Chain A
Amino acid sequence: MHRLINSDKGAVSIFLMMIISSIFVFNVLLIDLARVRIAENQAENILKTAARSSLSAFNPELLTYGLFGLERTPLQGSRETEKLLQDNLIGHHGPNEFVLVSLGLKDQAFSYNQLYSLGNHAVLEHQILEEMKYKAPIEFTRGIMSKLTEAAPAIKNAEQFMQNAIKLEALIDKRDRNLTNAWKQVTVMKNEVESYYGTYSNILEQNTATMDQGKLVSVTRKAIPEQLFIQQVTGKIQVYLEEAKKTDEEIAKEINSILRERPKELDGTDKDEVFKKVPILGNAYFVKFRIEVSEVGSLFSGFISRLSHLSKDVDSRSELIQLNRLYYDKCLHTFNSINTDELKRQREKTLLESEKTRHLNQTQSTIDKVKKTSRHNVCTYNTAHLYEKLNGEEGLYNKYSQLNKGTVDMKTQNSTDNSSLILGEAGETGQRSLFTLHYLLDLLEKARNEIYINEYALNYFNYKTYSSDLANSKAAVTLSNFKTHALQSQEVEYLLYGLESCLGNTAAAYAELFAIRLAFRTAEALSDSYSLSLGSPIMVLISSLTKAAAAAYQDMERLNKGEDVELMNRLQAVKMNYKDYLKLFLFLHSNHHKLLARMQALIELNTGEDLSGKATFIQTTAAFTLKLWFIPGLIKTLGLVGFLEGSIEQNHYVITKSAVMSY
Chain B
Amino acid sequence: MKLCRKDSGSIALEAALIMPLFLVFVLSLITLIKISIIDIALSSAVSETTKQIAAHMYPVDLLYQDYEHYSFLIPPPLLEVAKWELYQRNSIEDSLNHKYNQALNRVFKPLLNYFVDVNSGDIKKLNSSQLTIEKVTLPNLSNRSRAIFGIEAKYQLTLPIPFFRKIIYIRKRSLERVWVGA
Contacts and interface: CB of A to CB of B under 8 A. Distances in A.
Interface of A: 9-10, 12-13, 16-17, 19-20, 23-24, 27, 30-31, 34-35, 38, 41-42, 45, 49, 52-54, 56-60, 63, 71-72, 80, 84, 87-88, 90, 93-94, 96-101
A58 B167 contact: no
A76 B44 CA distance: 28
Given A20-B21, A41-B40, A49-B47, A90 B171 contact: yes
The binding surface of chain A is classed by DSSP as helix
Contact of B173 (A54, A58, A90): A90
Contacts of B173: 88, 90
A100 B35 contact: yes
Interface in B35-63: 35-36, 39-40, 43-44, 47, 50-51, 54
A53 B14 contact: no
B104 interface: no
Contact of A12 (B15, B147, B170, B179): B15
Contacts of B25: 20, 23-24, 27
Contact of A16 (B7, B14, B51): B14
Interface string B168-180: 1111111111111
A112 B36 CA distance: 31
Interface in B123-173: 144, 147-148, 150, 157, 167-173
Given A45-B43, A58-B182, A84-B177, A34 B168 contact: no
Contacts of A54: 177
Contacts of B15: 12, 16
A59 B176 CA distance: 18
A54 B148 CA distance: 11
Nearest to B36: A34
Interface stretch (B26-34, B74-82, B87-95, B108-116): B26-34
Given A20-B18, A52-B54, A84-B148, A98 B177 contact: no
Interface size class of B (residues with CB under 8 A): 35 or more
B1 interface: no
B23 to A, nearest CB: 11
11 contacts: A12-B11, A16-B18, A16-B22, A52-B54, A56-B147, A58-B182, A59-B181, A80-B177, A84-B148, A99-B170, A100-B35
Nearest to B7: A9
A72 B18 CA distance: 63
Contact of B14 (A13, A19, A60, A72): A13
Contacts of B14: 10, 12-13, 16
A96 B54 contact: no
A96 B170 CA distance: 9
A100 B22 contact: no
Contacts of B10: 9, 12
Given A9-B7, A12-B14, A13-B14, A38 B169 contact: no
B182 A98 contact: no
A52 B51 contact: yes
A63 B181 contact: yes
B29 A27 contact: yes
Given A49-B47, A53-B148, A56-B54, A98 B169 contact: yes
Given A34-B33, A94-B169, 15 more contacts: A12-B10, A20-B21, A20-B22, A27-B29, A30-B29, A53-B148, A53-B175, A56-B54, A57-B182, A72-B182, A87-B175, A97-B169, A98-B168, A99-B170, A100-B35
A504 to B, nearest CB: 37
A88 B172 CA distance: 9
Contacts of B28: 27
Contacts of B172: 90
B181 A56 contact: yes
Interface of B: 7, 10-11, 14-15, 18, 21-22, 25, 28-29, 32-33, 35-36, 39-40, 43-44, 47, 50-51, 54, 144, 147-148, 150, 157, 167-182
Nearest to A30: B29
Contacts of B29: 27, 30-31
A58 B181 contact: yes
Given A23-B22, A23-B25, A84-B148, A71 B182 contact: yes
A80 B21 CA distance: 50
Given A41-B40, A45-B43, A84-B148, A56 B11 contact: no
Given A16-B14, A97-B168, A57 B181 contact: yes
B181 A88 contact: no
Which of B21, B47, B181 counts the most chain A CB atoms within 10 A?
A: B181
A96 B169 contact: yes
Contacts of A12: 10-11, 14-15
5 shortest A-B CB distances, which residue pairs? A53-B177, A71-B182, A98-B168, A60-B181, A57-B182
Given A9-B7, A12-B14, A71-B182, A38 B39 contact: yes
Contacts of A38: 36, 39-40
Contacts of A87: 148, 150, 175
Contacts of A16: 14-15, 18, 22
A74 B101 CA distance: 38
Contact of A100 (B39, B50, B51, B182): B39
Given A20-B25, A57-B182, A71-B182, A84 B175 contact: yes
A221 B15 CA distance: 160
Contacts of B21: 20
Given A45-B47, A53-B176, A63-B181, A96 B18 contact: no
A85 to B, nearest CB: 10
Contacts of A56: 54, 147, 176-181
Contacts of B174: 49, 88
A13 B178 contact: no
A88 B171 contact: no
B170 A100 contact: yes
B39 A101 contact: yes
Nearest to B134: A94
Contacts of B177: 52-54, 56-57, 80, 84
B11 to A, nearest CB: 5
A225 to B, nearest CB: 102
Contact of A49 (B22, B32, B144, B175): B175
A100 B32 CA distance: 9
Nearest to B137: A87
A49 B50 contact: yes
B148 to A, nearest CB: 7
A60 B177 CA distance: 15
A12 B22 CA distance: 14
A88 B25 CA distance: 33
A99 B50 CA distance: 21
B29 to A, nearest CB: 5
Contacts of B43: 42, 45
B3 to A, nearest CB: 16
A97 B171 contact: yes
Contacts of B176: 49, 52-53, 56, 84
Contacts of A23: 22, 25
A63 B180 CA distance: 10
Nearest to A23: B25
A45 B21 CA distance: 38
